[in-house]
Amino acid sequence: MNKRNFLIVIISIFGSILSYGQANLLNAKIPEEIGLKSAAQQISDNDKPLEYGYVDDRDVLMGKMVWEIIDLSERINFPLYFPIDTANIGADRRSLYDVLTKAIRKGEITEVYSDSYFNIKKSFKDINASLSRIDTTDAGREQVNQDPDAFRERVVTRNVTTGKGKKKVTKSVTETIPISKTISPEYIVKQDLTAQDVSQYKIKGYWYFDKRQSELKYRLLGICPVTPDVFTINSEEKDYIELFWVFFPASRDILHEAKAFNDKNSAMPISFDQILNSRRFNAVIYQEENVYGDRAIANYMKDNSQNQLLESERVKGKIRNFEEDMWNY
């Protein structure tokens, strides 16, 4: 009986591993069948992210809010950055930026804000203005300068005379002249921000010591992609901006469905929800909550990157030492 149960467990684990890779890869007879899941696979894959346990405020012995930067140029953070070219990649592999923007566009993620304090909500219409720009080339501007009035709507006032003799009346009539010409399409340039333009992610999280479990824990609260301003993306000195802040707990279902590439085992991709919750990335603290209005480290450690990194490590050590000091008597 024990042997039978052992075999059932092994088979179920092996089946779940195969379901995480490219679905139906080994059974496909034509390329179009790769990725198609059977009804049984769809039922088995219908899982949800691991729910957070309830934490009473009285159980939090110590808490500290910190803001961190995830630099996507570091190798350990590559799963959050790639793939940036999706032309030859399956639809099941997308970067974190593509997953977030697509979900916001579809309305699947609605808890989107303009800052890390989650005060002002942003709609996709508000965000879209920062995601793309439409500009006119020099040739297009020359085309407009040749006949400026034809490319804009004008309101013209003219005098109209009616009647004859003593019954002659002159009135002022306002007339709207519509646009008669448009700029040629080849002179209009549209540029969109892509996953390749994302240089960093900013995250906001809360470190707390749970006295009931006697453990230091971390709860991720928000994530924000940092990109160049779309209007300065082609200039030598780019202005980097925070596109939007997503309240992380409200987006966990979407990030759990989206999978990142697992370099050690492609048959077992890991979800973005697991990567972020388990902190499988490297980040640097750039701000902590403090008495000075949560001022950033760069505001009091100016023009010295090394001192900023040392201060970041000091803040990290202060949080870590609290847990270690709990075991010293």
The predicted pLDDT at position 150 comes to 80
CB-based contacts of 222, cutoff 8 Å, min separation 6: 113, 116, 118, 203, 204, 245, 246, 247, 248
pLDDT band, residue 20 (cuts 50/70/90):
very low
The predicted pLDDT at position 41 comes to 67
**DSSP assignment string, 257-322:** HSEE--SS-TTS-EEHHHHHHTT-S--EEEEE--TTTS-BHHHHSTT-HHHHHHHHHHHHHHHHHH
Write down the mean pLDDT value for the chain: 86
Domain borders along the chain are 1-46, 48-132+192-325, 136-188
Q: What angle do CA 293, 298, 302 make, to 5 degrees?
A: 125
The predicted pLDDT at position 146 comes to 85
pLDDT digits (tens, 9 = 90+) for 197-208: 999 999 999 999
Residues in the chain: 329
pLDDT digits (tens, 9 = 90+) for 69-101: 999 999 999 999 999 988 888 788 899 999 999
Which residues is 113 bridged to in the sheet?
121, 245
**CA proximity to 49, closest of 248, 264, 262:** 248
End-to-end alpha carbon distance in the chain: 50
Place of tokens 């979407």: 254
